[in-house]
Amino acid sequence: MNIWAVLAFPGMHKHAGAMIHIEGFWRPQMGTIMNILSRVAAPLLVASTLAGPALAGGETLIVGIPGDIRNTDPALVSDTNSYYVTSNVMQGLVGLKQGSLTEIKPLLASALPEISPDGLTYTFKIREGVKFHDGTPVDAQAVKYNYERWINFPKSLQGNSYWSNIVLGHGSKSAIAAVEAPDSSTFIVRLKKPNSSFLTTQTLPSFAIASPTALKQGKGDNSVETLADIPAAQGGVGAMVGTGPFKFSEWSRGSQVTVVKNTDYWDQAGAAKSDKIVFRKIADSSATLNALQAGDIDIAQVLSPLDVGTASKDANLKVVDRGKSCNMVQLDMNMTKPVVSNPTMRRAMMYAIDREAILKTVYGGRGEVADGFVPTSFQNYVALGLPTYNPAKAKELLDQSGLSAEQRQVDFYYPSDVSRPYMPDPKALFQAIAQNLEAVGIKVNAKTETWSPNYLDNEYAGLYQLWILGLTCNYAQPEDFLKVGLFGYIDGKPSVEFGYKNDDIQVWMDQALAATDPKTVADKWVAVQKSLGNDLPIIPLVNSSPAAVMSAKVKGFVGSSNLQETLASVSVSE
């Protein structure tokens, strides 16, 4: 076994059998050594070896994230880890003010757009003098190139892109009628129909503007239809060439991502305080806490709520609350599968689950039991009075379901080797739910798969019957979860992921987005949520409130409950 691999990943004994029991005797001494290696030599780490040249010196910020990024193209990812990295490198026309879920600010646009009275045309003025990391200019033609790329993604790539697939090109039908660049400083988007959320969606990391030159060099120009063969998406040529305060340096797959300060950043007031950020994968919360306490990392994006309690008692650490929850973890079901397609069975399952106990034991009380299909921080949220824990009622409904005792069983999946802000301990969450289901007479066949790619790919492909997953919001409007994240039809058909058919809510969601008066918008979203409360196509569990934990020496951190946090303002005082 390579001892450098153990040094690089404190706590890796949780994931690799060869490292079991190592941490207990070397941790106190090796924390200091690792800190020196990380900050002075800053080696490039590969999963089991120490390889590659040392990076340039200077102040390095080390951030622990609970999983690897999926790839290096923000338009072709949909996960929080990838967004957490790319948000520091790439920028769109507009973004959200740091720490806010609703306040939009111009970025590569010099001001917020002019919107036509009919809500169909958005005219942006492009900020002058901005250059991509490769030195090429940012102008309206470059912006147009990016939008045309997203609109025209090959079908084989659309499934890799959460937002570009569903928001810009809902299935294979683009919501955009045309994009224009009449001159170098003017960019125009024309929609096919009004969308009250359109400007907010453009704040998402997926709509970051990349250098067209870099995209072409890295085969990110739609000339290659297989994701694995696109260097720009695999950390190679053309990867993450944007305009942000940091520049992409290196992705050691399964290990860490390194970005370095952009010394030519266009907004000097927002220039990076640190010379380098290393985003290090540590999937185990306890190992992340150990790394914080040893000084191996400066910031933990998230920790298990139980470990947050421990950290709050450590004078060398500080806990930063991100405010009201903007996420949801749920028990997902595929309506095309047996047993869970039975509505009485679904309601029985909801009565069977003790969500209050789950909130207390798995989430340390940090959050609230979900009583709707979006977090309470969302506009037009509706409290539905969803069924609460009542085992007797669950058994009664099971007897009314028409399912025999032998039929009352489910294949229940949960992910391994991952921790998510909405799901800090997937196995503990699974065990709590499974125990509740078994207690009322539902047999659980436990299934687990690695997070990426197996778990995500298979549940998205509609292969699972019952599984746990969640969402962290990107913007606090019902569309974010209800249409884009969960229940929106693709090409006019229910998604294969959930197989949930409800034509009425599709109409109501479209009417809500097209409406210009707040009352109509609210009425339609209320109708959608009430219909979901009757059907229970998924079982909402918890809206958690994940905290960031960091060294007491960290300055300038601004948290956001959607985890889109730019770290340019962060420094570490020695």
- Mean of pLDDT values over 206-233: 97
Q: Which of 119-133, 528-542, 559-573 has the lowest mean pLDDT?
A: 559-573
pLDDT score of 281 more than 50: yes
- Write out pLDDT tens, residues 113-168: 999 998 999 999 999 999 999 999 999 999 999 999 998 888 888 776 655 545 55
Comparing 195-199, 316-320, 349-353, 366-370, the range with the smallest average pLDDT is 195-199
What pLDDT does 164 receive? 55
Locate 513 and state its tokens.
Answer: 């987005």
Query: Is pLDDT above 80 for 57?
Result: no
Residue positions counted in the chain: 574
- Where does the pLDDT of residue 28 fall: very low under 50, low under 70, confident under 90, or very high at 90 and above? very low
pLDDT > 80? residue 228: yes
Tell me the one-letter amino acid at 298.
Answer: D
Rounded mean pLDDT, 264-293: 95
51: pLDDT confidence band, cut at 50, 70 and 90?
very low
By C-alpha distance, which of 466, 451, 433, 469 is closest to 361? 433
- Residue 53, Cβ density class (10 Å: 0-12 exposed, 13-18 middle, ≥19 buried): exposed
Query: Looking at residue 112, what is its pLDDT?
Result: 98
Query: Which region among 367-371, 516-520, 537-541 has the lowest average model confidence (pLDDT)?
Result: 516-520
Contact 162, 481 (CB under 8 A): no
pLDDT of residue 242: 98
Q: Tokens representing 144?
A: 């147009």
Mean pLDDT of 427-455: 95
The per-residue pLDDT for 360 is 95
pLDDT the model gives residue 19: 28
**Helix or strand (DSSP H, E) at 509:** helix 503-514
- The tokens of 487 are what? 């229940």
pLDDT in tens, 288-318: 999 999 999 999 998 888 899 999 999 999 9
The Cβ of residue 420 has, within 10 Å, a number of other Cβ atoms equal to 25
pLDDT band at 172; cut points 50, 70, 90: low
Q: Which of 173-177, 196-200, 240-244, 336-340 has the lowest mean pLDDT?
A: 173-177
The pLDDT score that the predictor gives to residue 293 is: 97
Cis peptide before 453 (omega within 30 of 0): yes
Render pLDDT for 349-363 as a digit per residue (tens, 0 to 9): 999 999 999 999 999
Which residue did the predictor score with more confidence, 491 or 478?
Answer: 478
Residue 352, number of CB atoms within 10 A of its CB: 26
Percent of the chain past pLDDT 90, that is, above it, reads 70
Range with lowest mean pLDDT among 10-24, 201-215, 263-277: 10-24
Residue 119 contacts residue 159 (beta carbons within 8 Å): no
CA–CA gap between residue 551 and residue 316 (Å, rounded): 6
pLDDT digits (tens, 9 = 90+) for 435-448: 999 999 999 999 99
Q: What is the pLDDT of residues 70-107, one digit of tens each?
A: 999 999 987 889 999 999 999 999 999 988 888 999 99
Do residues 84 and 565 touch, judged by C-beta distance below 8 A?
A: yes
* DSSP type of residue 141: H
The per-residue DSSP string of 295-335 comes to TS-SEES---HHHHHHHTT-TTEEEE---S--EEEEEEE-T
pLDDT of residue 38: 39
Consecutive H or E run containing 466:
strand 466-472
* Sequence-ordered strand ranges (E) for 501-551: 538-544, 548-551
How far, in Å, CA of 136 to CA of 215, rounded?
A: 12
The per-residue pLDDT of the chain, averaged, comes to 87
**Tokens representing residue 328 in the block:** 């949801």
Quote the CA–CA distance of 569 and 558 in Å, as a whole number: 8
pLDDT of residue 25: 26
> What does the angle CA 168 – CA 170 – CA 172 come to, to the nearest 5 degrees?
105
- In this structure, of 10-24, 64-78, 301-315, 407-421, the range with the lowest mean pLDDT score is 10-24
Determine contact, residues 257/22, Cβ cutoff 8 Å.
no
- Residue 569 · residue 271 · CB < 8 Å: no
What pLDDT does residue 8 have?
A: 30
Which residue, 490, 486, 470, is CA-closest to 478? 486
Which amino acid, residue 357?
Answer: A
